[in-house]
Structures are given as structure tokens and as C-alpha cells.
Amino acid sequence: MPRGSRERTRLVADADGGHRETPRRTARRSVNAELDALKGALDSQRKHVLGILDGLSEEDLRRPVLPSGWSCLALLRHLTLDVELFWFAGVIAGAPDVAGQLTAGSEAHWSVPEGMSAPAVLAGYRAAVARADAVLATAAPEQEPAVWPVELWPTWRLPDVRHILIHVLTEVACHSGHLDAARELIDGTTWLGGSPYAG
């Protein structure tokens, strides 16, 4: 217990007619409470991503509906490779199997490989999220990234896990909004009040 807290507890006890009580032990605040809060917000956006896609057919998941030409599955591939794997396993942890992705162009990640089914794309996203969570479970807010793709961003850099998590949260929230627009154009379903319903 911090010194200030211990002294305040003793003074209160002494002022009460000399009656002494054992100071109540308080739960130690998690050193990663900040990351826990950010990850909670990120988890909500991840749930949003999967929730707004729930119930779509394979055909609808593959059908571009916005002028930019991406499909819902293609955006999910982008979130899998360029967001969850890239930032957590790649940049924060420096995983060797992701290293090549750090300098490769991401254009191909906005497409679904021929023969890859919708369930496989969804499973890949969930696996990438689980791997990202494993990285975050042992990370600290001020921890510097293990590697940085200077070939991609020679003058821009996120300094630590805190800033990377904020960046990822912002990107996933942005893309969940893109999926909202696509889903509403496909069948009128919206995500208002935190759950999807037919608008």
C-alpha cells in the first residue's frame, strides 16, 4: 500500500478514541488497466464487424455494393491481414512468419483467394484476433514495437503499444462503419443501438 494511504488509515483510526483497526486491503489496480479499457473498446468493434455480417449468404458476402469495389469478405481479409496480424503479431511482437507482410503491398489483401470459402475467411479473422489477443496479454502500454516497416513509413512511427492499439481501434471502427453501409445496401439491415435489425 502506498505510504500516503497507510498514513491516512492510521490517522483515522487514532482519531476514533484510540481505537485501532486493521487497515482494509484494497485490490491492486491492474498495471494494464489502460490497455484493458482500449481492448474492451476494440472487442466491441470486432463484435460489430462479425455481427453486421451475420446472416449474409456467400453470394452477398462476395458481392461489391459500393463504388470502390470491395466486398464484405475482401474487407474482412484486409482486417485479418493488414490490421490484426500486421499490427499485433507483426509490429508489436515481431513474429517471423508475419515479417514479409510488413513490407509487402497490401493491395492483394483486399481480395479473397480463389477457392477460399466465406467460412474460411471468417475463421481466419477469428484466428487472427485470437493471436492478437495473445500478444496484448503480455504487452505493456509503453512497450516499443519489436519491428517497424520503415519501407512503408520512413517518417511516420507509432511509438508504443498504447498508440498502436488506439490506431487499430480507430481503423476497425472505421471499417465496421463501411460494413454497416454495405449491409444496409444489400438487404436493409442496420446496426443501431448496438444490435442489427431490419430497418
The pLDDT value recorded for residue 13 is 46
pLDDT value of position 163? 98
Write down all domains in the chain, each with its CATH number in brackets: 48-198 (1.20.120)
Return the pLDDT at 97: 87
Counting Cα atoms < 13 Å in the Cβ hemisphere of 1 gives: 13
List pLDDT tens digits, range 89-124: 999 999 988 877 766 656 667 889 889 999 999 999
- pLDDT cut 90: percent of the chain above it: 66
Q: Give residue 9's pLDDT band: very low, low, confident or very high (50, 70, 90).
A: very low
Contact 35, 162 (CB under 8 A): yes
Helix (H, G, I), strand (E, B) or coil at 142: coil
Which tens digits make up the pLDDT trace of 150-182? 888 899 999 999 999 999 999 999 999 999 999
Nearest to 110 by CA among 62, 180, 177, 174: 62
| Ramachandran quadrant class, 34 (left: phi over 0; alpha: psi -120 to 50; beta: rest) | alpha
Q: Residues 19-53: pLDDT tens digits? A: 444 444 433 455 588 999 999 999 999 999 999 99
Position 181 scores a pLDDT of 96
Cβ(55)–Cβ(163) below 8 Å: no
- pTM flag (> 0.85): no
Residue range 184-198, pLDDT digits in tens: 999 999 987 655 554
Query: Distance (Å, rounded) from C-alpha 1 to C-alpha 3?
Result: 6
Instruction: Output the pLDDT for position 101.
Output: 73
Predicted local confidence at residue 17, as pLDDT: 53
Cα 122–chain centre separation? 16
- Give residue 103's pLDDT: 64
- Write down the pLDDT at residue 23: 43
The three-class DSSP label of residue 90 is helix
Q: Are 183 and 198 in contact (CB under 8 A)?
A: no
